Amino acid sequence: MTKDLQEDNKKISEDMMISDEVYMTSGVHIGTRQKTADMKEHIYKVRNDGLYIIDINKTDQKINIAAKFISKFNPENILVVSVRQYGQKPIRKLSEYTGIKVLDGRFRPGTLTNPSAKGFIEPELLIVTDPLADSQALDEARNIGIPVVGLCDTNNELKYIDIVIPTNNKGRRALALVYWLLSRAILKENGKIKSYENFKPTVEDFEAEI
């Protein structure tokens, strides 16, 4: 590797919110054995065992972009959903620190579309942990015409997703790290913390129990 290239790589890692090693140890870059055309541009390479690897530089950029986007909305008008077990604690924590509304566990049909349904809400933005698992929420968001931010793995399609965060959306630690970074970035964008160091909770606080 030439010196210039090494310096370029160093610069890229310095621009990132946390070091690439943290991303690697949390398994944010680990994809699945399936690849969709939509996610092709976010894939870095395919490993010998057939696993597709996600480009963590893009993950980092997109978390930043998503945080900027989310901070443009009133937190009370944002809904974050996760049917996945490992995504439920991280989203509850995200809600605790940012004030975003949370719906963990089963998404009751009609929550966004049926005014007479129990727990009916009218959010202006939806955040989904897995577009495949949270398809009911995604469908209803489409019906009411609100934008969607989605955490997408290599096997996800980007139908009705307006801002994508390419990441491993199945891992316990990966989901905890992504939501921790997202909460920190949202608070910074909103001006509630001055720098990232002022964000006291740790990634472990966001991790779901095994």
Partner 1 sequence: MKKAEKCISCGKGLIERGSTTFICPNCDTKIGRCNSCREQNVKYHCQECGFIGP
Query: Footprint of partner 1 on this chain (CB under 8 A)?
Result: 38, 65-66, 68-69, 72, 124-125, 142-143, 145-147, 157-164
The answer to whether 152 touches 28, Cβ cutoff 8 Å, is: no
Residue type, 177: L
Q: How far apart are CA 110 and CA 173, in angstroms?
A: 31
Give least dist CB 62 to partner 1, A: 9
Q: How far apart are CA 74 and CA 46, in angstroms?
A: 40
For partner 1, the closer CB: 56 or 66: 66
For partner 1, the closer CB: 39 or 176: 39
For partner 1, the closer CB: 103 or 141: 141
Give least dist CB 98 to partner 1, A: 16
Give least dist CB 47 to partner 1, A: 25
- Fill in the DSSP letter of residue 91: H
For partner 1, the closer CB: 27 or 110: 110
Give least dist CB 141 to partner 1, A: 9
Q: How far apart are CA 158 and CA 47, in angstroms?
A: 23
| Count of Cβ atoms closer than 10 Å to residue 163 Cβ | 16
